[in-house]
């Protein structure tokens, strides 16, 4: 397949899905969080998306089947590779032109020997001149080289290279000395301590003290927020800042209790028709679909993984009268791998309609992207928000994955007066897990039926 054919085939399939859906470019663009002109360029073949995530969302909005999703991903890979080759072509041509026009070094001419003049003067015969030394050569003193090299001409080191070498050695010595010198901090690697109110208080050399017996050092965190000192008791460290279900805790490992709690529901449903799970079992070993209230126990019993998308509900509430500002919500990817090769089970009953409005405070996360971000739904406001003990907020996060199986978690940044921090939100100490389901065997459970059966429609809802 030629490069041009790869891009046109990808755009042709996008247009076919769009036309079949009956949705306008404007409607699809709003649902995809992109401009109408950008969507036009994708469907006309004038541009190729840098990530597969918007392509996957477009296909799902247009009700694409498993075979169409696989074919669409294949065409996107070819079109993306074509774009990369086009981008590299000018650089290769420039590099080739530079190589062709660069003049090579001219050979040095050897001075002609004058044996007659040397003989008349009574000196030694003239030896062939040695080639000029390069920047890496060093002059060898005649006395150190031995009697056999007494008559040899010493090699010279260019003065700039010699000065540069001395400078590098001096810098390396200074760096080694700085590393060995004590900085006057504590055993918590001088990152400061967390005060009782949750703020980071940096110690001076005079305030440092040896750790008490029985104290443990908090593990390093992947958070970019300020780190905290060692915890004074394991029990206190485990309970500090945790929500009632243990699903959230300070991201920096600190022991100060934040002035808010987060109740996390990782297996809530936007609607039964949109909820699927991947299970490494045959249909005969899988129980019927549960109610949403029993979904957590059902998922745990079957070791299921959210398929295609995961709908997470967060209820954030302050613990006192003071207002807490929720500054932002960040996605962290713990691991990314190939989609799970398991069976896909739909929670909705075939033939039973599902509906409902998009709730307020709704956000989406494209886990296939290189840098996933929490994006508000069209028409919904973004962070910051405010909460207190009497004024909670509920957030609905829809995270979708198609090309990967992704382990991920969230970090909630907050501030209250002079206090501030970051709270990690996950599935009771474990990352959330969402896997793509392209091409996996799909099963549905008929209403009033007794067993799972192969899905009659491409997406089974």
164-168, 262-266, 338-342, 398-402: which has the minimum mean pLDDT? 164-168
Most confident of 24-28, 38-42, 231-235, 371-375: 371-375
User: What is the per-residue pLDDT for 52?
Assistant: 86
- Asked if 310 contacts 399 with a C-beta cutoff of 8 angstroms, the reply is yes
Residue 22 pLDDT greater than 50, yes or no = yes
- Total residues belonging to the chain: 461
pLDDT band for position 329 (cuts 50, 70, 90): very high
Residue 59 pLDDT greater than 70, yes or no = yes
Cα distance between residue 332 and residue 220, in whole Å: 16
Cα distance between residue 263 and residue 412, in whole Å: 13
Task: Give the residue, 351 or 102, on which the prediction is more confident.
Answer: 351
pLDDT band for position 458 (cuts 50, 70, 90): very low
The mean pLDDT of 270-281, rounded to a whole number, is 87
The mean pLDDT of 348-363, rounded to a whole number, is 70
The mean pLDDT of 215-221, rounded to a whole number, is 40
Residue 214 pLDDT greater than 60, yes or no = no
Cα distance between residue 128 and residue 62, in whole Å: 82
Task: Specify whether the backbone of 298 is left (phi greater than 0), alpha (psi in -120 to 50) or beta.
Answer: alpha
Residue 4 pLDDT greater than 60, yes or no = yes
Task: Give the residue, 47 or 96, on which the prediction is more confident.
Answer: 47
Residue 420 pLDDT greater than 90, yes or no = yes
The mean pLDDT of 401-426, rounded to a whole number, is 95
User: What is the per-residue pLDDT for 23?
Assistant: 84
Task: Give the residue, 390 or 90, on which the prediction is more confident.
Answer: 390
CA quadruple 297, 301, 302, 308: dihedral, nearest 10: 30
Cα distance between residue 33 and residue 311, in whole Å: 18
User: What is the per-residue pLDDT for 196?
Assistant: 36
User: What is the per-residue pLDDT for 161?
Assistant: 62
Residue 211 pLDDT greater than 80, yes or no = no
Report the share of the chain in percent with pLDDT over 70: 59
CA 158 to each of CA 153, 235, 344: distance values in angstroms, whole numbers, following the listed order: 16, 65, 71
Question: What pairs with residue 396 in β-bridges?
Answer: 313, 362
pLDDT in tens, 153-199: 545 555 666 666 777 667 776 666 555 554 444 443 444 333 334 43
Average pLDDT along the chain: 73
Cα distance between residue 446 and residue 2, in whole Å: 46
The mean pLDDT of 339-344, rounded to a whole number, is 95
- Asked if 286 contacts 369 with a C-beta cutoff of 8 angstroms, the reply is no
Residue 3 pLDDT greater than 70, yes or no = no
The mean pLDDT of 340-356, rounded to a whole number, is 78
Q: What's the gap between Cα 411 and its chain centre?
A: 13
User: What is the per-residue pLDDT for 144?
Assistant: 42
Task: Give the residue, 180 or 414, on which the prediction is more confident.
Answer: 414
User: What is the per-residue pLDDT for 252?
Assistant: 52
**C-alpha angle 176-182-186 in degrees, rounded to nearest 5:** 135
pLDDT band for position 309 (cuts 50, 70, 90): very high
């Amino acid at each position: 397949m030629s490069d041009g054919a790869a891009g046109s085939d990808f755009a042709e399939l996008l247009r076919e899905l769009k036309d079949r859906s009956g949705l306008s470019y404007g409607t699809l663009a709003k649902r995809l969080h992109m401009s109408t002109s950008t969507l036009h360029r994708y469907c006309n073949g004038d541009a190729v998306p840098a990530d597969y995530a918007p392509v996957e969302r477009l296909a799902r909005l247009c009700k694409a089947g498993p075979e169409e999703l696989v074919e669409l991903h294949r065409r996107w890979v070819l079109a993306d590779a074509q774009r990369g080759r086009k981008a590299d072509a000018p650089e290769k041509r420039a590099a080739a032109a530079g190589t062709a026009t660069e003049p090579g070094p001219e050979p040095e001419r050897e001075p002609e020997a004058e044996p007659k003049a040397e003989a008349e003067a009574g000196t030694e015969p003239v030896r062939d001149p040695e080639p000029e030394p390069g920047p890496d050569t060093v002059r060898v003193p005649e006395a150190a080289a031995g009697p056999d090299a007494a008559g040899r001409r010493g090699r010279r080191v260019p003065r700039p290279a010699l000065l540069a070498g001395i400078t590098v050695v001096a810098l390396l010595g200074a760096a080694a000395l700085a590393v060995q010198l004590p900085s006057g901090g504590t055993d918590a690697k001088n990152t400061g301590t967390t005060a009782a109110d949750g703020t980071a208080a940096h110690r001076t050399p005079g305030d440092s003290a040896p750790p008490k017996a029985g104290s443990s050092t908090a593990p390093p965190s992947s958070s970019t927020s300020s780190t905290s000192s060692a915890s004074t008791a394991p029990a206190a460290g485990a309970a500090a800042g945790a929500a009632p279900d243990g699903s959230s805790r300070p991201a920096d490992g600190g022991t100060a209790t934040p002035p808010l709690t987060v109740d996390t529901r990782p297996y809530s449903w936007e609607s039964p028709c949109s909820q699927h799970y991947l299970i490494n079992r045959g249909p005969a070993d899988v129980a019927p679909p549960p109610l949403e209230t029993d979904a957590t126990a059902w998922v745990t019993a079957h070791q299921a993984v959210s398929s295609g998308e995961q709908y997470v509900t967060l209820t954030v509430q302050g613990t006192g009268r003071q207002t807490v500002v929720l500054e932002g919500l960040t996605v962290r990817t713990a691991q990314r791998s190939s989609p799970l090769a398991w069976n896909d089970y739909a929670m909705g009953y075939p033939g039973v309609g599902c509906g409902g409005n998009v709730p307020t405070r709704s956000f989406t996360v494209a886990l296939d992207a290189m840098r996933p971000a929490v994006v508000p739904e069209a028409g919904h406001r973004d962070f910051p928000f405010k909460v207190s003990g009497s004024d909670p907020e509920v957030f609905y996060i829809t995270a979708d994955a198609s090309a990967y199986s992704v382990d991920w978690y969230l970090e909630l940044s907050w501030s209250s007066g002079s206090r501030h921090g970051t709270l990690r939100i996950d599935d009771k100490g474990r990352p959330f897990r969402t896997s793509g389901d392209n091409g996996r065997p799909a099963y549905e459970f008929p209403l009033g039926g007794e067993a799972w059966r192969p899905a009659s429609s491409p997406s089974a809802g």
